[in-house]
């Protein structure tokens, strides 16, 4: 079912899962605070259960909600990459988020450079948003492509036209060194 942004936000807040345009590609989205939504995304994508998801945030201070220790030095480091297409892996010692970090004790976060997406996250809260495709298949560049993967198994679709971006670059900080995990 095709919905507008306000309906999608309400569905995300209620634990729903759907397809939404992101700053890079179409994402299969759900609340990062809902283990059920996250598990459903893994099932829909047929994703390797040991491969963690990226969490999209609308403000650096939201990292604290995930057990990340936010210091002035970390904020300065993050602000050189955000907002933008960089997903940054940060340590978390909070066991309640094991469903996100999958035993790695770290979560990748991204602060998107897209006003509409940031507005959605500001209202709905942090979301997971892996690319809208089945594992090892091409990412969806249109709503029609996303429908071919998920049909009526998702709660909503928000059409943002054709998107042919590339996945975010995943990095982590090793002391003062920046390590690229995926380009």
Of 87, 65, 63, nearest to 74 by C-alpha is 63
- Per the structure, the count of domains in the chain is 1
Dist CA 111 CA 121 (whole Å): 10
Residue 30, C-beta contacts closer than 8 angstroms, at least 6 positions apart: 12, 15, 16, 17, 18, 37, 38, 40, 41, 127, 128
- Predicted local confidence at residue 14, as pLDDT: 96
Phi-psi sector, 38: left (phi>0), alpha (psi -120 to 50), beta = alpha
Helices 115-124 and 5-13 pack at an angle, to 10 degrees, of 40
- Predicted local confidence at residue 1, as pLDDT: 59
- Predicted local confidence at residue 37, as pLDDT: 98
- Predicted local confidence at residue 116, as pLDDT: 92
CATH number reported for the structural domain that contains residue 83 in this entry: 3.90.870.10
Of 103, 15, 90, nearest to 60 by C-alpha is 90
Over its length of 183 residues, how does the chain's per-residue pLDDT go in tens digits?
Answer: 577 899 999 999 999 999 999 888 899 999 999 999 999 999 999 999 999 999 999 999 999 999 998 999 999 999 999 999 999 999 987 789 999 999 889 999 999 999 999 999 999 999 999 999 999 999 999 999 999 999 999 999 999 999 877 778 887 787 667 778 776
- Please, are residues 106 and 90 in contact by the beta-carbon 8 Å criterion? yes
Task: Compute how many other C-beta atoms are within 10 angstroms of the C-beta atom of residue 17.
Answer: 25
- Predicted local confidence at residue 120, as pLDDT: 95
Q: Which residue in this structure is represented by tokens 């979301």?
A: 127
Listed in sequence order, the DSSP H helices in the chain are 5-13, 35-45, 72-79, 98-101, 115-124, 143-150
The structure's pTM equals 0.92
Give residue 115's domain range: 5-182
Task: Compute how many other C-beta atoms are within 10 angstroms of the C-beta atom of residue 172.
Answer: 16
Q: What is the CA radius of gyration of the chain?
A: 15
Query: Which DSSP letter does residue 131 get?
Result: B
- Predicted local confidence at residue 16, as pLDDT: 97
């Amino acid at each position: 079912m095709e919905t507008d942004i306000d309906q999608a936000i309400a569905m995300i807040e209620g634990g729903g899962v759907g397809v939404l345009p992101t700053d890079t590609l179409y994402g299969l989205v759900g609340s990062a605070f809902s283990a059920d939504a996250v598990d459903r995304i893994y099932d829909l994508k047929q994703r390797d259960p040991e491969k963690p998801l990226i969490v999209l945030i609308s403000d650096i201070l939201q990292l604290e909600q995930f057990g990340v220790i936010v210091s002035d030095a970390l904020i300065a480091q993050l602000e050189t990459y955000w907002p933008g297409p960089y997903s940054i892996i940060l340590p978390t010692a909070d066991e309640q988020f094991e469903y996100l970090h999958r035993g790695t004790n770290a979560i990748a976060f991204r602060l998107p450079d897209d006003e509409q997406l940031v507005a959605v996250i500001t209202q709905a809260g942090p979301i997971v948003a892996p690319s809208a495709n089945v594992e090892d298949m091409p990412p969806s560049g249109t709503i029609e492509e996303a429908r071919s993967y998920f049909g009526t198994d998702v709660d909503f679709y928000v059409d943002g036209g054709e998107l042919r971006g590339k996945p975010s670059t995943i990095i982590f900080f090793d002391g003062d060194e920046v390590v690229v995990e995926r380009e």
